[in-house]
Every structure is written in structure tokens, then in C-alpha cells.
Structure 1
Amino acid sequence: MNRQQFMKAMEIHLRPMDPFERAELLADYDQHFELGLREGRLEEEIARELGHPEEIAKEALGDRYDIHTPGSDAFYAPTYREMRSAKNSTRATRNFFTAIGLLFLNLILGIPLGLMMWSVWLVIASLSLLVLAPVAAVVDFLFLSQLDKAEIFVAIGAFGVGILFAIASKYVFRAFKIVTLQYIRWNKNTMKGDVSA
């Protein structure tokens, strides 16, 4: 336990004490840390020597502090461990509901929109196969020995359109990849709780 954790725990456990008296006692313990640090000792070492904040508070408060009977008339201050476990259970609950929310969001919107988006790219990429139209015209000429002028013009036109679709599919792929990766990153950050509103 470092200095900040120790002092915070002391403050919590000493809540039933008169504010002036509590401030005085906290100042004394803070002074211990100051002196120890000047001597080159570590905060954790000083905290260990001072003892556990809960025990110090019990001793300082005497009858005003009864940890085992929170429902009694005596003042009750939660322990440092109790506060930590409550915070962790709140975080676990939040993470659970966040995961459920993300699951439904992805099932209802994320996955269908992602599949639709990548289907559009697949159609554009498939249309880029029109660049093979001249090859089809050559094969038609070699095996069937017939080649019309219209077929040549259509093959050249289809080749040009295929090139345009190939270029478009390249840019669409890049854009959809960025959107997909950002959405995945957003899901991860949301689960960690790093998303700002």
C-alpha cells in the first residue's frame, strides 16, 4: 500500500471521528510519511511499519467504531477491502451489461451492415472481371472461327469498364477495411470502458 492509498483508507475508517480530531491524526500520519521519505525509505515500507489503517482506526475510535455490526447504533465505515470489492463488482456488472449490449448491437446492426458492405465490394470486384472480355473474344475466334466487329467493340468497352471496376474495388476495399477495423476497435474500447461520449 502506498502513501495515497494508506491516507485514503485512514480517512475512510476515521469518518466517525470529530473532523478536527481526524484532521490532526491524519496530519500526524502524513508527517510519518514525510520523515520516512526524507530518510530515503519507500512509501510501502513506511505504510507497513505504521500498520493497517483499519486497525489504527479501531484503536483511535474505540467504542465509536464497530466493524462487525453495521446495523447497530455505532458508526460504521467500510474497510478498504470492502470498498475495493464493491468497486470491482460494479465494474464487473458494467462489463457484463456492456458485453450483452454489444452482442445485440452487433447481431442486429453490426454484422448485417458489415456483410452488406462487404457484399457490395464483392459485386464491384466481380464486375472487374470484365477485363477478361477480350480474352473471351479471342477464344471465340480461335474455337468458333467467328469474330464480328460489334463483338470487338463490346470486348474493348467491357475491358475499359472492367478496369474502372478494378480501380473502384481497390478504393472501396481500403475504405471498408478502415471502417471495419475502426468498428472492431470501438467494440474493444467500449468493453474496456475507454470510449468517451
Structure 2
Amino acid sequence: MTTPDFRPTHVVPQHGMPAWEDPDPARPTAPLDPLLPVQLVERRGDWGQIRCANGWSAWVDARHLVAVPLDPPLPGGPFAREDDPGPLLVHAERALAHYRAAVEEHASGTLDGETFRGRTRGLRVGVVVDGEQVWLYDVERSRWVHSDGTRAGTYATDDEPRAAVAPGHEPTQVVSPDGP
């Protein structure tokens, strides 16, 4: 039975994903089926509370959800700053140029192996272009971003989910007469 106001905003990735009763990785509940339509109703850091068509809800690592496409933006409209893949493209170009220069110097013998390793240590770049689709690695957020040429969004990340708690503050707890 579908809840009347249910409108999916995301689907579960093609290999399924774990779900939790609470945003706590130590207490998994049940796995979600691949490509299950869900509605993202709340975010807490990397955690997302989802609701299924039957009304059941759970917490998931929201970064792995696949967004259901929205209506495309109007032609000629500007990118919103968070949707603009341009800064990631600029970073990729600069990182690749830096690496290429180090490789050329190392290959020509003007740069020894230890200096080459030092100049390239920590350098990370990732770009996959397939027609109008592009996947870019966002070094600052340790995630892959996908763009179809009109907008960009997180495609995948390897980080563990974390709560959205300001530094120096404890997360909010629900307290009942029996304790937290």
C-alpha cells in the first residue's frame, strides 16, 4: 500500500544498501532492495532518514542514494554554485598539469625519484568523461561528483557517515522519564 503523499526523491543504489533504525552504524536493521524508490525526509550530516512507499522509515548513508532526476533547468540558465562542476574541472586541470610537469622532469633526468615522489605525494585527481556525462573526484570532500552538463551531485563516497554536530557541542538526545 502506497502512502498518499509519497513521491520518491531517490532510489537505493543498484546493489542495495544497509538501513538503520537510528543513525548509528553499530545497529543495522534490514538491507534495502536495489533500486527501491525512497523519499529523503531528513538529513543529519551524512545520514538521511528515508521513507518507503509503504510508510516504513529508516536511516541510511544518504550520500549513496541515487537522486531521482528533476525537471531539467531552463536552457541558458546559470548553474547554482553548488551545482557547478567548473571548480572541480579547474582543480583537475591544475593537478594534472602539476603531475605532467613532474613526470616530464623525472623522465628527462632533471628530477630524481625521491624529489618526484615528494612533489606528487598527496596529489589526487580523478576525471571520467563519457559524452555529456562527467565524473570528477572532489578532493576536499573525498567524493565522486557526477554531472550531466546541467547540474552536479555526489555520486559516491568512501567516508563513514558522520553526524551534523557543531564542534564543541553534543548531539541532541531525546530524554524520557526512564533516561536517555
More helix by share: 1
TM-score normalised over the length of structure 2 = 0.27
Structure 1 or 2, whichever has the larger Rg, is 1
TM-score by length of 1: 0.25
Higher strand share: 2
